[in-house]
Amino acid sequence: MNKEKLTVTIITYNEEENIRDCLQSVKWADEIVVVDAESTDRTVEICKEYTDKVFLNPWPGHKEQKNFGISKSLNLWIFSIDADERVPDELKNFILEELKNPAFDGYRFPRQNYFLGKWLKHGGWYPDHVLRLFRKDKGSFGGINPHDKVIIESGKVATVSVPIIHYTYKSISQYVLKQDLYSSISAQALPGSDKKATTSLFKVAAKPVWKFIETYVIKAGFLDGIHGLVTAIGASYASFLKQIKMWEINHIPRE
């Protein structure tokens, strides 16, 4: 039986440390489309070893860049993956088998998220379902940057148990820098599009505290040991940064 052809889409920026292993894990796909935001390292060079579909596109935002990649694909079925993610053999086999006769329009997978080398199973880090395999005539990336997500407008979506492997942060410094970056993107994205963008002294003080309690206690992050404590504090810190940056945008005049 002939299977549906598949395009894997990846967005990159200075990912020379990650991209080869990512591409190696999806080299079985019918087509690989890479959209690079003008990397200054060897990312593009490495990508061209695996595909001739490498497009340079100045960074417009997470969901915009991913939708640009979809627009460059030749096939109906898309599997979107990030440079720090991997497709294990079990997932590859599932996708190849499912595409012989797809019963759904989109497929949601759990992610095994590794933080400083440890798979985190609590604190909201697992199962962390993400919709990544879908028909491009049924879905596209939406949401609020940087937390983009695939939205299926009309169609059936299945949640399966086979995971994507995700290597998140390799150092505390990298983690802290990313919290700062992502909180800036979130704060700038919300005011024009979401009523919740308004902030207050209460929110600045209370939301980070609640985020820690939610992550460390309610979602049992403490069961992941020191890694769980670090990520709970990190989530609280990110919440504080987002709230105070929204306050800054709304109250501090720009010259």
pLDDT tens, position by position, 4-31: 999 999 999 999 999 999 999 999 999 9
Residue length, the chain?
255
Element (H, E) at 157: strand 157-159
Q: Does residue 254 have a pLDDT over 80?
A: no
Sorting pLDDT into bands at 50, 70 and 90, what band is 59?
very high
Quote the pLDDT of residue 5. 98
Helix (H) or strand (E) holding 207: helix 201-212
pLDDT for 202 equals: 86
- 50 has pLDDT over 50: yes
Reported as a pLDDT band with limits 50, 70 and 90, residue 146 is: confident
Structural domains for the chain: 6-167 (3.90.550.10), 172-251 (no CATH)
pTM: 0.90
- Ranked by mean pLDDT, the top range of 78-82, 182-186, 194-198, 203-207 is 78-82
pLDDT of residue 197: 54
3-state secondary structure of 158: strand
pLDDT of residue 177 exceeding 90, the answer is: yes
Mean of the per-residue pLDDT values of the chain: 94
Q: What is the DSSP string of 79-124?
A: EE--TTEE--HHHHHHHHHHTTS--SSEEEE-EEEEETTEE--STT
Asked whether residue 148 carries a pLDDT value surpassing 70, the answer given is yes
pLDDT digits (tens, 9 = 90+) for 65-89: 999 999 999 999 999 999 999 999 9
